[in-house]
Structure 1
Amino acid sequence: MADQFDVSHWNLDRHAAGAGWRRLALFSAVAITTVAGVHLLAMALGPQVPLGLAIALLGVFALSFAWIVLSFWAAILGFLLKATGLHPLSLSRVGPGDGAVPPLRGRTALLVPVYNEQPDEVFARLETTWRSLEATGRADAFDLFVLSDTTVDAIAAEEEKGAEALRRRLGLGERLHWRRRAANVGRKAGNIADWLDLHGSRYDHMIVFDADSVMSGDTMVRLVALMDASPRTGMVQTHAEPVGRETLFARVLQFSARVYGSMLSTGHAFWQKGEANYFGHNAIIRVAAFSDHCRLPVLPGRAPLGGEILSHDFVEAAFMRRAGWFVWNLPTLGGSYEELPSNVVDYAVRDRRWIQGNLQHARLLGVRGLHWMSRLHLAMGIMGYLASPLWLGSLILSASIVLEHEIVGPSYFGRVPSLFPNWPQYNTGHVHGLLVMTACVLFLPKLLALVLRLGASSRGHGGRLAITLSVLLETLFSMLLAPVMMLFHSTFVLGILAGRAVGWPPQARGDRGMEWDTAVERHVGQVLMGVVAVLVIGNWAPAFLPWLLPVVAGLLLAPPLAVYSSRRAWGVGARRWRLFLTPEEATGERSVGRVLMTDPTRESALSGAA
């Protein structure tokens, strides 16, 4: 049977070579663009700006701009690959994982760690996943483990009942396992380590889920086939697409991720190749390699920067690559789903946990033996959250420069002693050039992603007019949300650096609306900061106020934005107007993703997953 297939086509390992020129091209583009941006800003500042302020602003701008530019060029690469129909690894029309699936070898465990979750929703998602797997005819190669770290006895009892009920419905017998740990040591990473010690020797691979994960059977089978054919591969990460939530906030983010996310992920897969990253779920892992090399250390010192590592995934990928195993990102597989928080506060609270975990990674950057790409991933994870205080710092420095100029006035004899005065210079050309460059970096990827979707795939988003209007409204929403998240992230970062640990509480799920009192309590500081900024700039530098309003508007509107975007009725209303549609909503085709759009606790909906 195996001879009927070109198994070598499924071998990811053979694509590991040749990454050098890809990374050189990307980093060269990033460096050139960043230098050009810094040059334009330096020329726009001119000799009138105090030297200390100028150096500080240029340094902060260079770091934050380089971070944005990296994503920009990855998106450009993703656009080119998708527009030409080329696979990011093979650079041909056919890539690893495409075509007929060869017979599977060995056994694979599906691991679902849970921690104080809603049992009925967890088991409904698992039933959707397993029925889809049964439809492939390959389910005999898989077993299912629900690994409970639940601390509430009543919830644990419901989990045990749910596992037994699902075992009967699916006819799995002893192939569906539920167990509850007595002590939540090491959180999710410790939960999986416990499974490795008890059961790992019986399995070749494990597919790790989160409690909100769902994956199609075809995708799981292809992941196993890829691992079978790739003896030097340790992990394959899929691109998980968000689905299933109905508040306006979640639907905007779901739409954004579906339209832009795949293009960006494809671009990153192009240059990362076998040194990609792991995001903690919706990925397949070689059990023996993970067990031998990916156990996490306990960092010396106290939390928040010491103790157990909260964000385990980046570190596990780094240790896997250090041991000589490849780590891949395959955004072309599809069929991988997750859920998003349904309002801005839940979204920020989830980020607060991730911020502490990623800041801990700074202590691992110097660990011996890590691949330089792994160090880069750790640094990128840190930078993903330091970008917010850097942006805040650049705004404060820019405002200080403007206020200094307006209050103190021009300095005719400034930085260097001279017999001749420095007359004020208004470098409007450089200012406009920097604005155009920044606008391109921020908005051109959105435009290119829209171009990709304006063909036949526009049907999956309601048609060309609907997707165009949705992109415009999503862009406006993102502009209003960005300064809100900037202040949330900046506050969290400063708090963690000051020694305030945030822990790891259960994640809020479901379509949770927000009341006005909660919104005002969480956003009052942001509103006050916006009011102060308007009053100060409006009084001392009114000509600068129009440039500040795009940032301040989001802060002033934060409470109503949080309240109304959390409304399920607003999200459903937007769907009636065909706004922010995802393919499952627009086409109604029978698929795992489509099942998730229904009430996950209804057995009638789940029965169609296959």
Structure 2
Amino acid sequence: MTAHPPKSFAHLDLPQIVPVRPLAPAAVSRRARLAVAVLTLTLSAPLIVAFAAGAGGGGAGALAIPLFALNTLWVAFGGAAALLGAAVLLRPNSAPRAAPLGTPTAVLYLLCNEPPEPVAAAAARLARDLERGRLDRSTDIFVLSDSAPQAEAAERAAFGALIAEGRVRYRRRARNTGRKPGNIADWARREGHRYAQMAVLDADSRMSAARLGAMIARMERAPRTGLIQSGMRLLPARSRLGRALRLSSRLGGPVATEGLAAWAGPAGNYWGHNALIRMRAYRAARRLPRLPGRAPLGGPVLSHDFVEAALIRRAGWDVEVSPESRGSFEDAPQTLRAFHKRDRRWCQGNLQHARLLGLNGFDPASRVHLATGVMSYLAAPVWLALVVLFATGLVPAPGLVLLAGVVALLLVQKMAALAVHPGVRRGGQARRIALRAGLAEAALSTLLAPLLLVRQTGAVISVLAGRDCGWKGPEAAAWRPPAGVAETGAGLALLALALGGGGAALPWLAPLVLPLLAAPALSRWLEAAA
């Protein structure tokens, strides 16, 4: 493996390259944003008006109306973006196939106390694929570890053969200053000058040489592009929870990502991995702002990716979201404990973004990305506050017509996803299979949503109360209550409130309370092997 690859790969035949759809012109993005805004208001306004008419103008009603309006607009925005994504997918894609020219590229695997063996296997597969596609002469693979010192021996053993063969370069930092962003910045200072771009991968993410080659080719031909974020698929699941998450991603992911790419245009986002970043653009974003005060809302930025994308865009570079997910994978949590642990960290990082919304020079779309990250967690306590108001009788529970409207709004994204699903469009047996998958996903989402509602509300309260979750590291040995106990407690509390309020809201609350009461059994079922 050489540090200075040949200058051109134009003569190579690389038929396996996955095409990357060119970025839409700015005018197209502006029209897409207008369409999303109009659709959002169209979907949400009738529900907000109907709720306001029935909530009354008293103290509790005056509180409930803006809460309902906020979350209805949030759900409608997601539905509008999905409808836009469906419209994009229904258009034929004539993106040209192009081979990379051979600009020097680094692939970075970031490791922090994860098992090294799966990463070594993934790096070995990628190295072989790069050799088959003759991309190895312009691409080097690095493993950058921030693991504890006692993990180094196991990591060197796992990567030993690859290191000896010259396929992988391994480095563990003695001091993990700045966590993952600091790890990348440290590599960039030492090695970054030798490469035109870097592909960032987490320990649980994967990328094929074909997908990587397509992104390199796109960046080589788009000199204004500073970052390309690839769409992603979930790796095969090992538990029922993993299968549920994978099914949801496979059905809803394409329309959501296409919609995001369409309205964001040159001001897309970054999800921290499975992305290609131009080194010149990276230098504009490597110094992340430090928030005043202490963690959890102050100190270092925990969710660095959204902020880096905003800084790269502010520096004048395009940030692209490439929805294509073939050859780009990540793993999903297989247990609720692992899911909640990751979600708690994301909650703290996203809530920090509220303090960055007013930074000078950000593109309006970058501010929307930051705001949607904040709302993705604030939505849970807002919904729960509304549920409490309904349960206690302080605000009349929505009638059947309004309830049907809310359910219909929640189903917009799922209907948009099914409308463009290849199986549905083929008809026959394929359509029946796709519809069964859609019904299964809707049922699983209905069971999971109350559990996430309670946990995310708890995470927001924890952050606002000043509890710092820190960064990921080895699991501490501590007693934890059995899975589902907290959710059951919340379900009992809501049931008691509803009974104390006369019980009128019980039928409306049943879809929420019943999964909470069954949470211990539901948790065991979800975490069982797939």
The corresponding residue for 2:435 is 468
Q: Distance in 1 between matches of 2:382 and 2:130?
A: 46
Q: Distance in 1 between matches of 2:122 and 2:390?
A: 49
Q: Distance in 1 between matches of 2:461 and 2:64?
A: 20
Q: Distance in 2 between matches of 1:110 and 1:247?
A: 30
Residue 531 (structure 1) aligned to one of 492, 507, 510: 492
The corresponding residue for 2:3 is none
Q: Distance in 1 between matches of 2:21 and 2:253?
A: 26
AA of the residue aligned to 2:65: L
Residue 187 (structure 1) aligned to one of 179, 183, 186: 179
Alignment CA distance shift 1:181-1:29 (3 Å): same
Given that 2:100 and 2:216 are in contact with CA atoms closer than 8 Å, whether structure 1 keeps it comes out as: no
Cα drift, residue 299 of structure 1: 1.9
Alignment CA distance shift 1:251-1:552 (3 Å): same
1:287 equivalent in alignment to 2:279: yes
Cα drift, residue 225 of structure 1: 0.5
Given that 2:10 and 2:101 are in contact with CA atoms closer than 8 Å, whether structure 1 keeps it comes out as: no
* Moved beyond 4 Å, runs of 4+: 1-5, 9-14, 456-459
SS of the equivalent of 2:301 reads: coil
The corresponding residue for 1:230 is 222
Q: Distance in 1 between matches of 2:230 and 2:448?
A: 27
The corresponding residue for 2:91 is 85
The corresponding residue for 2:471 is 504
The corresponding residue for 2:421 is 453
The corresponding residue for 2:407 is 439
Q: Distance in 2 between matches of 1:559 and 1:74?
A: 35
AA of the residue aligned to 2:120: F
Cα drift, residue 380 of structure 1: 0.9
Alignment CA distance shift 1:470-1:29 (3 Å): closer
1:161 equivalent in alignment to 2:157: yes
**What do you get for the CA RMSD once the two structures are aligned?**
2.5
Q: Distance in 1 between matches of 2:389 and 2:360?
A: 38
The corresponding residue for 2:346 is 354
1:240 equivalent in alignment to 2:237: no
Cα drift, residue 333 of structure 1: 5.2
The corresponding residue for 1:18 is 28
The corresponding residue for 1:607 is none
Given that 1:484 and 1:558 are in contact with CA atoms closer than 8 Å, whether structure 2 keeps it comes out as: yes
Cα drift, residue 504 of structure 1: 1.1
Q: Distance in 2 between matches of 1:22 and 1:13?
A: 13
Given that 1:30 and 1:73 are in contact with CA atoms closer than 8 Å, whether structure 2 keeps it comes out as: yes
AA of the residue aligned to 2:127: W
* Identity score, percent: 37
Q: Distance in 1 between matches of 2:75 and 2:423?
A: 28
The corresponding residue for 2:94 is 94
The corresponding residue for 2:503 is 542
Q: Distance in 2 between matches of 1:487 and 1:167?
A: 46
Given that 1:122 and 1:212 are in contact with CA atoms closer than 8 Å, whether structure 2 keeps it comes out as: yes
Given that 2:32 and 2:84 are in contact with CA atoms closer than 8 Å, whether structure 1 keeps it comes out as: no
Superimposed CA distance per residue, residues 294-351 of structure 1 (whole angstroms, 9 cap, x where no aligned partner): 3212222111111111110000000000000000101125210000000122111101
The corresponding residue for 1:137 is 134
Alignment gaps of 5+ in structure 2:
1-8, 14-18
Given that 1:13 and 1:231 are in contact with CA atoms closer than 8 Å, whether structure 2 keeps it comes out as: no
The corresponding residue for 1:563 is 524
The corresponding residue for 1:32 is 42
Alignment CA distance shift 1:10-1:112 (3 Å): closer
AA of the residue aligned to 2:514: A
| More moved, 24-33 vs 202-211 | 24-33
Alignment CA distance shift 1:458-1:281 (3 Å): farther
With the length of structure 2 as denominator, give the TM-score of the two structures. Answer: 0.91
Alignment CA distance shift 1:334-1:449 (3 Å): same
SS of the equivalent of 1:209 reads: strand
Alignment CA distance shift 1:4-1:342 (3 Å): closer
Given that 1:10 and 1:230 are in contact with CA atoms closer than 8 Å, whether structure 2 keeps it comes out as: no
Cα drift, residue 190 of structure 1: 0.3
Cα drift, residue 292 of structure 1: 3.3
The corresponding residue for 2:16 is none
SS of the equivalent of 1:521 reads: coil
Given that 1:113 and 1:147 are in contact with CA atoms closer than 8 Å, whether structure 2 keeps it comes out as: yes
The corresponding residue for 2:73 is 66
SS of the equivalent of 1:541 reads: coil
Given that 2:423 and 2:434 are in contact with CA atoms closer than 8 Å, whether structure 1 keeps it comes out as: no
Given that 1:12 and 1:233 are in contact with CA atoms closer than 8 Å, whether structure 2 keeps it comes out as: no
Cα drift, residue 146 of structure 1: 0.4
The corresponding residue for 1:492 is 459
Q: Distance in 2 between matches of 1:403 and 1:271?
A: 40
Cα drift, residue 463 of structure 1: 4.5
| More moved, 530-539 vs 477-486 | 530-539
Q: Distance in 2 between matches of 1:14 and 1:394?
A: 40
Matches within 5 A, 1:408-419: none
SS of the equivalent of 1:18 reads: helix
Alignment CA distance shift 1:209-1:134 (3 Å): same
SS of the equivalent of 1:434 reads: helix
Superimposed CA distance per residue, residues 336-370 of structure 1 (whole angstroms, 9 cap, x where no aligned partner): 00000001221111010011111111221111111
Given that 1:321 and 1:371 are in contact with CA atoms closer than 8 Å, whether structure 2 keeps it comes out as: yes
Cα drift, residue 151 of structure 1: 1.0
Tell me which structure has the larger Cα radius of gyration.
1
1:221 equivalent in alignment to 2:189: no
Q: Distance in 2 between matches of 1:4 and 1:125?
A: 25
The corresponding residue for 2:6 is none
Q: Distance in 1 between matches of 2:38 and 2:11?
A: 44
Cα drift, residue 21 of structure 1: 1.8
SS of the equivalent of 1:260 reads: helix
Q: Distance in 1 between matches of 2:489 and 2:345?
A: 26
Alignment gaps of 5+ in structure 1:
87-92, 406-427, 509-516, 572-610
| More moved, 220-229 vs 261-270 | 261-270
Cα drift, residue 541 of structure 1: 2.5
Q: Distance in 2 between matches of 1:450 and 1:369?
A: 39
SS of the equivalent of 1:292 reads: coil
SS of the equivalent of 2:300 reads: coil
Alignment CA distance shift 1:454-1:377 (3 Å): closer
Q: Distance in 1 between matches of 2:24 and 2:436?
A: 43
Alignment CA distance shift 1:385-1:540 (3 Å): closer
SS of the equivalent of 1:455 reads: helix
Q: Distance in 1 between matches of 2:446 and 2:24?
A: 42
Q: Distance in 1 between matches of 2:325 and 2:394?
A: 53
The corresponding residue for 1:203 is 195
Q: Distance in 2 between matches of 1:336 and 1:11?
A: 15
